Amino acid sequence: MTDAYTVLARCYDRLTADVDYEKWADYVERHLRRLKRPVRRLAELGCGTGSLTALLARRGYSVTAVDLSPDMLAMAEQKCRGLDVRLVCQDMSRLALPSPADAVISCLDSVNYVTRPAALRRAFQRAHRALVPGGLFLFDVKTPAALEGADGQTCLDEDEDLFCVWRGDYYPKRRMCGYGLDLFLREEDGRWSRSGEYHEEYAYTPEELEGFLREAGFPSVKQYGDKTMSAPRPGAFRVFFAAEKELS
């Protein structure tokens, strides 16, 4: 297996073509409109190849897009050329923005990929520090039910130049879901190359995450269902958190 998001960065957008980024951007804006102050500057943690980043920038936001993978950021750079976007290669647990943001967002379960609770607690503290007074920290997670449900699942994605098969395995003692990927890509010379990657997501409970947020200094924490404005239902597979920093 290669390091995470090296080869995968080349074909990530093709493998996630079913993601409705417009809908994600709409949902982010629904929360931004609820704030009692204008929102201009956003920070996006775990921006990946920049699909959501570019959409939000086109909607008028100045975006600082943060990701740990240089390969993913290289793809994002192509997508965000000419837009008000600053790309930063950084671990979210060491987040340090050049100027405070009106909102910090993290989408598509990027938080689950922070697999050490101590590191996630630091990330939440950094997010709090990065916000202006009254700013919003908005993110989603896959719940333990979602990750446990991925155990033993095998999925296949393919097109004319790509073949990808992955398997999920859940490890209850570690509270971790691992994904092993085999990738076959047709190169420019027509030959096929094979590579592999391994990714892990941590099964945080909503109670833990709310505790981390309050510990980081957020006095107001609300939970929502998957891209809804109402509370999550029991057994939900995805939960959103909206935490507001105190007004000074």
Does the residue 2 lie in any domain?
Answer: no
Q: Specify the pLDDT at position 183.
A: 92
Same domain as 86, residue 168 = no
Tell me which residue range forms the domain holding 26. Answer: 7-142+204-244
Q: Choose the weakest-confidence range: 145-149, 175-179, 182-186, 206-210.
A: 182-186
How far is the C-alpha of 162 from the C-alpha of 60, rounded, in Å? Answer: 35
Same domain as 155, residue 208 = no
Same domain as 150, residue 41 = no
Same domain as 108, residue 191 = no
Does the residue 17 lie in any domain?
Answer: yes
* % of the chain surpassing 70 pLDDT: 98
Does the residue 128 lie in any domain?
Answer: yes
Burial label for 3, CB within 10 Å (0-12, 13-18, 19+), is exposed
Q: Specify the pLDDT at position 58.
A: 98
Instruction: Give first-to-last CA distance, the chain, whole Å.
Output: 48
Across the chain, mean pLDDT equals 95
Q: Specify the pLDDT at position 108.
A: 97
Same domain as 93, residue 113 = yes
Q: Specify the pLDDT at position 4.
A: 61
- Give just the sign of the alpha carbon dihedral 217, 223, 226, 230: negative
Q: Specify the pLDDT at position 2.
A: 39
Question: Region 176-189: what's the mean pLDDT?
Answer: 93
How far is the C-alpha of 147 from the C-alpha of 143, rounded, in Å? Answer: 7
Length of the chain: 248
Same domain as 198, residue 97 = no
Residue 186 or 41, more confident? 41
Whether 86 shows a pLDDT value over 90: the answer reads: yes
217 contacts: CB under 8 Å, gap ≥ 6:
125, 128, 245, 246
Q: Specify the pLDDT at position 10.
A: 86
Question: Region 220-246: what's the mean pLDDT?
Answer: 97
Does the residue 28 lie in any domain?
Answer: yes
Q: How many helices (H) and strands (E) does the chain have?
A: 7, 11
Question: Region 233-247: what's the mean pLDDT?
Answer: 96
How far is the C-alpha of 173 from the C-alpha of 118, rounded, in Å? Answer: 17
128 contacts: CB under 8 Å, gap ≥ 6:
137, 216, 217, 218, 245
Same domain as 228, residue 164 = no
Same domain as 222, residue 171 = no
pLDDT digits (tens, 9 = 90+) for 19-67: 999 999 999 999 999 998 899 999 999 999 999 999 999 999 999 999 9
Whether 15 shows a pLDDT value over 70: the answer reads: yes
Does the residue 227 lie in any domain?
Answer: yes
pLDDT digits (tens, 9 = 90+) for 134-165: 999 999 999 999 999 999 999 999 888 999 99
Prediction pTM value: 0.95
Q: How many domains does the chain have?
A: 2
Q: Specify the pLDDT at position 1.
A: 37
Q: In CATH, what number is assigned to the domain containing residue 22?
A: 3.40.50.150
Question: Region 131-135: what's the mean pLDDT?
Answer: 97
Q: In CATH, what number is assigned to the domain containing residue 196?
A: 2.20.25.110
Question: Region 164-177: what's the mean pLDDT?
Answer: 97
Same domain as 210, residue 112 = yes
